[in-house]
Amino acid sequence: MKRLGMAIKLRPGHEEEYKRYHAAVWPEVLSKISECNIRNYSVFFKDNILFGYLEYYGANIKEDWAKMAVDPKTQEWWEHTDPMQEPLEDRSEGEWWTSMKEIFHTD
């Protein structure tokens, strides 16, 4: 299992809409997340910063990200949620959410 943390800004004025979407995530999107070997996925919000945490249980994260990216229902979801987000300036090429480095963990 690999733990992943990531961050992105939420554009001002979209707080309630973003929360509404995530209070009722579409079943097809949840199914695809699970199918792509992602578990324990959470999104946190503070001062227009979104922090995402997930655990990846698969063997090839690049393949699973690609499978998710071509899924029509996931693409439709992103059509709604991506315009509410603003990537951080220091993200790596090809990233939407900025990857974070884990510096501490305890079970």
Q: Is a pLDDT exceeding 90 seen at residue 20?
A: yes
How confident is the model over 63-98, as pLDDT tens digits?
999 999 999 999 999 999 999 999 999 999 989 999
Q: Is a pLDDT exceeding 90 seen at residue 105?
A: yes
Bigger pLDDT: 54 vs 92: 54
- Within 10 angstroms of residue 32's Cβ, the number of other Cβ atoms is 19
According to DSSP, residue 16 is labeled H
pLDDT on residue 79: 98
Q: Is a pLDDT exceeding 90 seen at residue 17?
A: yes
DSSP H stretches of helix in 53-106: 61-69, 72-81
Domains of the chain and any CATH numbers:
2-100 (3.30.70.1090)
Q: What whole-number distance in Å separates Cα of residue 72 and Cα of residue 70? A: 6
Closest CA to 9 of 40, 35, 45, 34: 45
How confident is the model over 38-53, as pLDDT tens digits?
999 999 999 999 999 9
pLDDT on residue 5: 98
pLDDT on residue 60: 97
- Contact, 8 vs 98, CB < 8 A? yes
